[in-house]
Amino acid sequence: MTIQLKTQVAIVGAGPSGLLLGQLLHRAGIDNVVVERQSADYVAARIRAGVLEQVTVDLLREAGVDQRMHREGLPHDGFDLLFKGQRHRIDLHALTQRRVMVYGQTEVTRDLMQARQAAGLPSHYEVEDVRIDGLQGSIAEVTGQHQGQALRIQADFVAGCDGYHGVSRSCIPADVLRTYEKVYPFGWLGMLADVPPVSDELIYANTERGFALCSMRSRTRSRYYVQVPSSERVENWSDEAFWDELARRLDPQAASHLTRGPALEKSVAPLRSFVAEPMRWGRLFLAGDAAHIVPPTGAKGLNLAAADVGYLWQALSAYYQSGQSQALDAYAERCLRRVWRAERFSWWFTSLMHQLPAEGEFGQKIQEAELDYLVHSEAASKALAENYVGLPL
C-alpha cells in the first residue's frame, strides 16, 4: 500500500529550519508536508546553539511560536571579550540599538514541533530511503518508506532543510553543484551542566592555552566550551579535567565564580566552513545546513538557516499570492550574499579567538594586538557588534 499525498511545498527535514518554514507557510495559507529521516524524539533531543539574532526572533514571532521564548529566554545587550587575562565588554545595544536572545535551539525546535502538532499539519518521521525526483519538470515528487509503507508526495516545490548529510543537496547534478570548504585543525569540547552561569553574559576567551566560551541556556543551565585538537576524544576528559581546564582559561574573577557540577552532555564538535552553490535547482530550494556550515564562533548556524527560511517564505508567499516568480528566481542570490557575509564573519572571529598552531607565538601577539584595537576603537567594536547581532534580511 502506498501513502499518496499532494501539497504545495514538500519540506525535507524536520529540524528548526524545516519546521519554521512549515509554520510560516501554514500561517500564509500555503499547504506543506514535512518528511524527516530521524524519529521525533531524536529531533527534539538534539543539543545545539542558543544565541538568536533579532531576525530569528522576529521570524519566530511571525510564526506564532515566540511566547515561551519571551517568557524564558534571556535578552542580552552585550558580551565580554577576554584576552591577556582581562575582560572587555562589547555593548551590543549601545553600538547597534539591537540585542540578541539566549534561548536554546532545542527549545525552539520543541516550540515549533508543538505548534505543528496543535495545527494538525502533516509530518512524517522515520522516513527511510528518501528520494526527490521531477525537479526539472512540472511537478516534484518526494518518495520514501514510512512504517513499512511506501510514501509518495507530489509538490509544486521542495525545500531541502535536511542538513549537511541529507539527500537534498545531492539532487543537484555534480556538473552544476559547486562547493567551498575550510576545515579547521581544532574543535570544541563542550559541556552542558545544570549549574548557574559564571556570568550574566557570554564570555569569549582568547588565551595561550586556547579558546574558551562561557555560555548558558538559562539562569540555571550553563554551556561551556574549550578548544581542543580536532582529533581529541571526549572519553579522554573527565568532568573534573574539563572544569580545571576551563578555569585555567578564565580571568581570576570569572574562575572564582565558576560553579562545578556533573555533565548532562559532553561532546567534541569539529569546526569547518562550508558553502554549496547554487541554493536553487529547478523546483528544489536548499536552506540551512544543507547549503552552508559555519564555525559556531558567533552563533551564525541557526540564524543563517532562519534567514534562508525568511527569504523562502517571502518568495513562496509572493508566488502563491500573485503568480509571479521574481522572488523565487532571486532566492539563491539573496541568500548567498548574506551567507558569504556570515561565513566571512565566522571565519574572522574564529581566526581571531582561537590558538592557531601554525602561527606560533607571533600569531598570538597579533591576535592580542587586534583585540586591543578592537575593544578601544568604537568603529571596530561597532563592526563586530553589527555582525554579531545579525545583518538585516
Active site residue 93: no
CA pair distance 198, 195, nearest whole angstrom: 9
pLDDT of residue 73: 96
pLDDT of residue 385: 98
pLDDT of residue 393: 85
pLDDT in tens, 261-278: 999 999 999 999 999 999
Active site residue 388: yes
Q: What sign results for the dihedral spanned by CA atoms 314, 28, 160, 342?
A: positive
pLDDT confidence tier of residue 3, bands split at 50, 70 and 90: confident
pLDDT confidence tier of residue 1, bands split at 50, 70 and 90: confident
Residue from 76, 124, 292, 354 carrying the catalytic annotation: 76
Q: Cβ distance 63 to 20 under 8 Å? A: yes
Global confidence as pTM: 0.95
Q: Where are the beta strands (DSSP E) in the chain?
A: 2-12, 32-35, 51-52, 74-76, 78-83, 86-91, 100-102, 123-124, 127-133, 140-146, 149-160, 178-193, 203-206, 212-216, 222-229, 263-277, 280-281, 284-286, 292-293
Q: Which three cell numbers stand for residue 181?
A: 570548504
User: Roughly how many angstroms between the first and final C-alpha of the chain, as a whole number?
Assistant: 44
Q: Cβ distance 112 to 65 under 8 Å? A: yes
Has residue 142 got a pLDDT over 90?
yes
For the domain spanning 183-270+355-389, the CATH number is 3.30.9.10
Active site residue 204: yes
Residue from 16, 103, 197, 204 carrying the catalytic annotation: 204
Active site residue 165: no
Residue from 296, 319, 331, 354 carrying the catalytic annotation: 296
Active site residue 76: yes
Q: Which of 141, 117, 112, 142 is nearest to 128 (CA)?
A: 142
Has residue 212 got a pLDDT over 90?
yes
CA pair distance 70, 331, nearest whole angstrom: 30
CA pair distance 344, 94, nearest whole angstrom: 24
Edge to edge, the sheet with strand 222-229 lists 86-91, 78-83, 203-206, 212-216, 222-229, 178-193, 263-277, 292-293
Residue from 184, 225, 331, 388 carrying the catalytic annotation: 388
Q: At a CB cut-off of 8 Å and minimum separation 6, what does 121 contact?
A: 22, 26, 32, 34
Length of the chain, please? 393
pLDDT in tens, 45-103: 877 778 999 999 999 999 999 999 999 999 999 999 999 999 999 999 999 999 999 99
pLDDT in tens, 35-57: 999 999 999 887 777 899 999 99
Domain residue ranges of the chain, discontinuous segments joined by +: 2-76+100-181+272-349, 183-270+355-389
Q: What DSSP designation does 266 have?
A: E
Q: Do domains 2-76+100-181+272-349 and 183-270+355-389 have the same CATH topology?
A: no
pLDDT of residue 119: 96
Superfamily classification of domain 2-76+100-181+272-349: FAD/NAD(P)-binding domain (3.50.50.60)
